[in-house]
Amino acid sequence: MNTKDIEFGLDSFGEVSNESSGRLLSDAETVRLMIDEAVLAEAVGIDSYNIGEHYRPQHVDSAGHVILAAIAGRTERIRLGTSVTVLSTQDPVRLYTEFATLDAVSNGRAQLIVGRASSTESFPLFGFDLADYETLFEEKLDLLTRLLRDQPVTWSGTVRPPLTDQHVHPAVAPGGIPTWVGVGGTPQSVIRAARYGLPLMLAIIGGRPTRFAPYVDLYKRALDQFGHSPLPVGMHSLGFVARTDEEARSAYWPQWNAVMDMASRERGFSPPSARQYEAEIAEGALFVGSPETVAAKIAASIRALGLSRFDLKYDIGRLQRELRAASIELYGREVIPRVRELLEEPTVQPVPSDQRVEAAKRAGSRD
């Protein structure tokens, strides 16, 4: 595995932060904090900084492209994208112009992850009907891919006015803007990404990451059936890095618990528990711990799923800005280099049980 080709990203949902004094930052202060955190991410060697899209209190990521443009003016190398763009409630033409402009401002560093949305507050806000959930995404993804790949565009559908031999500017470089499809775990979404020939981003926020292996296999088979060459697969998960496992667990727990408790009440699943939290850290989708612990878990996930990209969502609840900064620095300076080291080590093939028994007998005879 060529570890130089693996992208390690940092994802934000624009969650409002606290100071160590307990003062809650304003929305405007949090926007500026995100810009500072992206500058720090570049300084410590992280490959990309990506912003979500939400329209709810305590989130300031509703205009991520504006924040990314501000980051572009203070950075030189780091790629700038979305951890999810809710394409269903965006206009593909406007989205294209925003990110083509960001690509120009940043000298070719823009990228996108588009999804259907698990948080649906943008539908009523912008006047869309949830009954059109599938149609909106399907048609808008079709138009967006055409805009990125083959202008002028002639297109018609049911969700927006048609286009006839339309050029949209600014033009992007050959190959367009790297655009991934974010998937939460439905086979239909995996197949759709393959049909359009777009890289797959798995949003894994609970349970063992290895349970997504069948989706990766399905994606590869579908790519082949649709006549596409192999494409990258990425993974987005929540996490937090501190100097020790105990420090990380204790700092992250109250924020994770509060966020998951609110989600459980909104979506009707069981409230979180300390036992569930520990299980998610030990074997599930929470990448929380010391640099060595988090690096080992990321490396194992990359191997198991054949990933080309791993994005760590670092902000959650009202996590203190000082803790956020420390986590970003440890992720860039220690976790990512250690993951690359681990991936360069040869994998050890398991010894069949009968061979282990014989080896134990031989060892015993030498004692």
Query: Secondary structure of the chain in the HEC alphabet?
Result: CCHHHCEEEEEECCECCECCCCCECCHHHHHHHHHHHHHHHHHCCCCEEEECCCCCCCECCCCHHHHHHHHHCCCCCCEEEECCEEHHHCCHHHHHHHHHHHHHHCCCCECEEEECCCCCCHHHHCCCCHHHHHHHHHHHHHHHHHHHHCCCEEECCCCCCCEEEECCCCCCCCCCCCEEEEECCCHHHHHHHHHCCCCEEEECCCCCHHHHHHHHHHHHHHHHHCCCCCCCEEEEEEEEECCCHHHHHHHHHHHHHHHHHHHHHHHCCCCCCHHHHHHHHHCCCEEEECHHHHHHHHHHHHHHHCCCEEEEECCCCCCEHHHHHHHHHHHHHHHHHHHHHHHHCCCCCCCCHHHHHHHHHHHHHHC
The reported pLDDT for the residue numbered 139 is 98
Q: What is the pLDDT along the chain (367 residues), one digit of tens a residue?
A: 578 899 999 999 999 999 989 999 999 999 999 999 999 999 999 999 999 999 999 999 999 999 999 999 999 999 999 999 999 999 999 999 999 999 999 999 999 999 997 788 999 999 999 999 999 999 999 999 999 999 999 999 999 999 999 999 999 987 789 999 999 989 999 999 999 999 999 999 999 999 999 999 999 999 999 999 999 999 999 999 999 999 999 999 999 999 999 988 888 888 999 999 999 999 999 999 999 999 999 999 999 999 999 999 999 999 999 999 999 999 999 999 999 999 998 875 444 444 444 444 443 443 3
In angstroms, rounded to a whole number, what is the distance separating the alpha carbons of residues 108 and 99? 10
CA-wise closest residue to 315 among 306, 305, 323: 323
The reported pLDDT for the residue numbered 173 is 85
CA-based radius of gyration for the chain: 22
Where are the extended beta strands (E) located within the chain?
7-12, 48-51, 79-82, 85-86, 112-115, 153-155, 163-166, 179-183, 200-203, 233-241, 286-289, 309-313
In angstroms, rounded to a whole number, what is the distance separating the alpha carbons of residues 45 and 8? 9
The reported pLDDT for the residue numbered 174 is 77
The reported pLDDT for the residue numbered 1 is 57
251 and 242 Cβ atoms separated by less than 8 Å:
yes
The kind and range of the H/E element at 125 are helix 122-125
In angstroms, rounded to a whole number, what is the distance separating the alpha carbons of residues 367 and 358? 15
269 and 345 Cβ atoms separated by less than 8 Å:
no
State whether CATH 3.20.20.30 applies to domain 3-366: yes
The reported pLDDT for the residue numbered 4 is 83
Residue 307: count of CB within 10 angstroms of its CB: 22
The kind and range of the H/E element at 295 are helix 291-305
The reported pLDDT for the residue numbered 222 is 98
Q: Which amino acid is at 70?
A: A
The label of the residue with tokens 């138009």 reads: 143
